[in-house]
Amino acid sequence: MNNTEQLIETPSDSTGTAAAPSEPASAASPSSFDPRADLAAAVELAGRTLAAVRPGQYDDPTPCEEFDVRRLSSHLVAVVRRISVIGRGEDPFGVPSFADEIPDGGWAAAWEPGAREVAEVWADPGVLGRQLRLPMGVLPGAAAAAVYAHELTVHTWDLARATGQEPEWDQGLIERVIDVVRRALPAETRGGRIPFGEVVAVDAGAPAIDRLVAWAGRRP
């Protein structure tokens, strides 16, 4: 599925519950690492991109091979809902991976309450230092915010590319996300339990968004 939340996929126990990683995925302290503004910006841009999708595009393919535009739109709504659940310290598996109950064209309307809830839940600075449960395992809240800023940014690019949109990317945000994801997702660990394609070579001077999606296995 090429999702950032699966970067550190952990074995399940007999109940199907993901076990926590044996070591923290991020050593950054909450006092020095606060990606909540980046998460908020990623949520806002994803919502604007989703709102611009046209009905005739729902069946079109996206760079994320498993998803057409319809399936990716449904998944994005599920992701924004899951971010709130995770921030509250609840079970991420309580939110399905797709918002299948939403009819075609209803994703943008469903996004708005989901985005408001993310803002409310993550407004508490104490969330940064809490151990939160993600589908990948247990991470500090600061690391969880960075994980989802990356996932939303890459999937926003997927959706924009599929629907002919050209969002105004926040270069600073993307550079920060690149720094995090290159440590979390090394080039050498692809395939198998790491559901990303091989890194696509791009020039070092390429736009930040191109370098980000190339690291995720997309071809800009």
Residues 6+ apart with CB under 8 A from 180: 26, 35, 146, 150
Evaluate if pTM is beyond 0.75.
yes
What pLDDT shows up at residue 216?
87
pLDDT digits (tens, 9 = 90+) for 45-91: 999 999 999 999 999 999 988 899 999 999 999 999 999 999 999 99
pLDDT digits (tens, 9 = 90+) for 90-143: 999 999 999 999 999 999 999 999 999 999 999 999 999 999 999 878 989 999
Residue 179 pLDDT > 90: no
Closest alpha carbon to 9 in 103, 139, 128, 114: 139
Q: What is the chain's Cα-based Rg?
A: 16
For residues 172 and 11, which has the higher predicted lDDT (pLDDT)? 172
Mean pLDDT of the chain: 85
Q: What is the 8-class DSSP label of residue 127? A: G
How many angstroms separate the CA atoms of 142 and 130, rounded? 8
Q: What is the 8-class DSSP label of residue 55? A: G
Contact 1, 66 (CB under 8 A): yes
What pLDDT shows up at residue 186?
75
Query: What are the beta bridge partners of residue 61?
Result: 68
Gap between the terminal Cα atoms of the chain: 18
How many angstroms separate the CA atoms of 191 and 127, rounded? 32
CA distances from 169 to 46, 149, 160, 166, 210 (A): 11, 13, 11, 9, 11
